Structure 1
Amino acid sequence: MTASSAPVRQSSVRAHNLALVLQTVANRADQPSRAAIATFTGLTRATVSALVDDLIAGGLLVELDPPPRTGAGRPAAGLALSPDGPAGLGLEINVDYLAACVVDLAGTVRHRAVRPTSPAAALHDLGLLAGEVAAAASRDGLTLAGAALAVPGLVTPSGIVRVAPNLGWQDLDAPAVLGAMPGLTGLPISVDNEANLAALGELLSRSDTPTFLYVSGEVGIGAGIVLDGALYRGGRGWSGEIGHVTVYPDGRPCRCGANGCLEQYAGQSQVASDPALAASALGIALSAVVNLLDIGVIVLGGAYAPVFDQLRDGIEAELRLRVLTAGLSPVVLRPAVLGADAAMRGAADTVVREVRENPAAWLAPAS
């Protein structure tokens, strides 16, 4: 029997329809009624009503009071994502700071915290911060559906940090380490590159821009590549290491072992001391990416976002000079909508998105 001719289990149909109803509510701004959802989805009213009841019982939807009557008939009650349902915990670890936030099912940031740290103390401090934010979420009546960590390094699909040079990590089983921390015990935990998660966070905030390069500037520099609304990870999942693109072949030694890497000219400290040089180096590296991938929008995030105006002219000058198609279609340079919060927001959003896309898995333990 082929996969296409195999029977579809009833549980699979229900899981699909639960996701369809939840996504319909999530993607609309008009708080649709049960009848409206039936119209939008093509499901019967009876089916929609049963699914909505399950989603309400599971804390994923709330039914709102109907609007005042303005004519004949009773107004229908609208539906919205529950602000007190499952939430996502987003964590970010970097060389000199940690960040955490809790995002509810509707995408609202309910808690946010940022703390200074050092590479030697980062994991210990992250455990304390995660516990603090998780406790704050619990006091608000929120239930964490999972946690996601943004790391400045190469991360495998299973969450193993192969190398994070600026943290001194190599082959670290980050999910196992995090899973042993107070406040995170028992939670599903995922780990990804910080620029990838920042790009995903930016994508959700920029629905009008499905293709762009997101560049995150901190002590290190990473990039997230978004093509047609999807994150491009590369053949081994390690794309976006723009910080180690060579801009000056005979230049400064980098901790990666090479010379003249972008990171040595446009990292956070270099931007503060010589923004003109940093902007030029960024422009050189970004021009190479644009020529190779034909990306028309570049978003500057992380530490670059607050100093965007200081970097813009220098970067655009290099783009005009070096991008082959600059005269036909100039590259658009933008600051990140989420600013320095993009990575932790993107991390929390991945957890929330999983619940939205598969509510049946969230409801199953209560069944």
Structure 2
Amino acid sequence: MRARNLGLVLGEVAGGGPLTRAALAELTGLTKTTVSSLVADLLAAGLVAESPAVRAGERGRPGTEVRLSGGRVAALGLEVNVGSLTACVVDLTRVVRARRTVRADNRSREPGRVLAALDRLAGEVLAEAPSLRIAGTVLAVPGTVGDGLIHHAPHLGWRDVAVSALPSGRPVAVENEANLAALGELEFGDAPRDFLYVSGEIGIGAGIVRDGGLLRGATGLAGELGHVVVAEGGPACRCGSRGCLEVYAGQDALPSPEALAAGGPEAAAACERAGRALGLALTSAVNVLDPGTIVLGGCYVPLFPWLAPPVAAVLADRLGALRPAPPALVPAATGPDAAVLGAAARVLRRVLADPAAQW
């Protein structure tokens, strides 16, 4: 019961703070004595801090407000991408305290070597925030993941790679990059509580957010949008099928923003083809999931001014008879950091839900 109440109080502080103890008692339905005891525990754990005294009204002693503290507890987010490694430390108030990215060609590179390089990078960012205690570490990878196993990351050339710790011994949880990017957009961006996040990289993934939570599917493999077939009998895909979306709208099929800005007809035609293919795949996703918003992330962000019009045109044409209007189409606010921020956010969410685990 005490663990549940600690989570209840910390959740109110995180969602609506700073708050006085009296306000917390009113919001939680707990007695003032109980709230004071719980706040004392949270203060001792470094999860909250007190602000200077404020007067709530004309009478009585001034109270102190309780707010989240970013001074002690933090999360380590990591990402392995095809062309880079990233690590960042984010404190409990969602402030990024340290972040580094290094370019690296990880395609077909032995997993142990990649993880060793990532471990060294993690050590560098942790050295920049020595006063913080890391409550957990999550790794984002571009592949299908379940129970600590990277089942298949085709663009890395990895299959059935078990990851439960970094070479240094630091425990790590593994999650699909698109799922974490959706969580990063939810926690650090401008997205609503219900949306479909599309991660455009060499592969294409999707994260589904419903009422503030991720929908992973029965086996954790929901969101493989890149392997929706958009052209029966089309070119071969790395997955072994043909005509998959990522062949038409993955990063390798897209022109650069510079080429599009220069107005070249070949670049414009390539972007038009990619946008129409993406719109076709998203039509099916909208009919199944009914999202109110579609967020385009990854490499789609700098291409959004050119890519969004053909996507929107296909959605409007194919969904017009079924609904008053297609979903809103917006670029991701978190840019290339979406997945690594989402990795850290997964840890911070756990801390807020179960602060008792910090003792």
**TM-score, normalised with respect to structure 2:** 0.90
1:243 aligns with 2:226: yes
Tell me which residue corresponds to 1:5: none
1:124 aligns with 2:107: no
Tell me which residue corresponds to 2:72: 85
Tell me which residue corresponds to 1:40: 27
* Distance 1:48-1:247 versus aligned 2 partners, 3 A rule: same
1:28 aligns with 2:3: no
- Contiguous gaps of at least 5 residues in structure 2: 256-266
Tell me which residue corresponds to 1:3: none
Instruction: Return the alpha-carbon distance in structure 2 between the equivalents of residues 16 and 203 of structure 1.
Output: 25
1:142 aligns with 2:132: yes
Instruction: Return the alpha-carbon distance in structure 2 between the equivalents of residues 162 and 277 of structure 1.
Output: 31
- The C-alpha deviation readout for 1:64-111, integer Å capped at 9, x for no partner, is 111479955432111111111210111111101122211111111111
- Offset of residue 195 of structure 1: 0.5
Question: What is the letter of the counterpart of residue 26 of structure 1?
Answer: A
Instruction: Return the alpha-carbon distance in structure 1 between the equivalents of residues 48 and 327 of structure 2.
Output: 42
CA RMSD of aligned residues (A): 1.9
8 Å Cα contact 1:93/1:152 also seen in 2 = yes
Tell me which residue corresponds to 2:7: 19
| Identical-pair percentage | 49
Instruction: Return the alpha-carbon distance in structure 1 between the equivalents of residues 198 and 161 of structure 2.
Output: 25
Instruction: Return the alpha-carbon distance in structure 1 between the equivalents of residues 252 and 149 of structure 2.
Output: 28
| Aligned 1:103-114 pairs, distance under 5 A | 103-114=90-101
Question: What is the letter of the counterpart of residue 240 of structure 1?
Answer: G
1:284 to 266, 280, 284: 280
* Distance 1:17-1:159 versus aligned 2 partners, 3 A rule: same
8 Å Cα contact 1:265/1:281 also seen in 2 = yes
- Offset of residue 227 of structure 1: 2.3
- The C-alpha deviation readout for 1:116-170, integer Å capped at 9, x for no partner, is 11122533321221111122121xx1111110011111101x2200110000111
Instruction: Return the alpha-carbon distance in structure 2 between the equivalents of residues 96 and 23 of structure 1.
Output: 37
Instruction: Return the alpha-carbon distance in structure 2 between the equivalents of residues 316 and 133 of structure 1.
Output: 40
Question: What is the letter of the counterpart of residue 28 of structure 1?
Answer: G
SS of residue matched to 2:136: strand
8 Å Cα contact 2:144/2:152 also seen in 1 = yes
Tell me which residue corresponds to 1:153: 143
Instruction: Return the alpha-carbon distance in structure 1 between the equivalents of residues 289 and 57 of structure 2.
Output: 55
Instruction: Return the alpha-carbon distance in structure 1 between the equivalents of residues 29 and 59 of structure 2.
Output: 26
Tell me which residue corresponds to 2:259: none
For these two proteins, the number of residue pairs brought into alignment is 341
- Offset of residue 325 of structure 1: 4.2
1:271 to 251, 254, 259: 254
SS of residue matched to 2:87: strand
8 Å Cα contact 1:320/1:326 also seen in 2 = no
Instruction: Return the alpha-carbon distance in structure 1 between the equivalents of residues 83 and 352 of structure 2.
Output: 33
Tell me which residue corresponds to 1:168: 157
8 Å Cα contact 2:320/2:326 also seen in 1 = no
Question: What is the letter of the counterpart of residue 164 of structure 2?
Answer: P
8 Å Cα contact 2:178/2:197 also seen in 1 = yes
Question: What is the letter of the counterpart of residue 79 of structure 1?
Answer: V
* Distance 1:71-1:290 versus aligned 2 partners, 3 A rule: closer
8 Å Cα contact 2:181/2:341 also seen in 1 = yes
* Distance 1:244-1:201 versus aligned 2 partners, 3 A rule: same
- Contiguous gaps of at least 5 residues in structure 1: 1-12
1:353 aligns with 2:353: no
* Distance 1:325-1:342 versus aligned 2 partners, 3 A rule: farther
8 Å Cα contact 1:320/1:327 also seen in 2 = no
SS of residue matched to 1:248: coil
SS of residue matched to 1:87: strand
Question: What is the letter of the counterpart of residue 304 of structure 2?
Answer: F
Instruction: Return the alpha-carbon distance in structure 2 between the equivalents of residues 320 and 268 of structure 1.
Output: 24
8 Å Cα contact 2:49/2:66 also seen in 1 = yes
Question: What is the letter of the counterpart of residue 260 of structure 1?
Answer: G
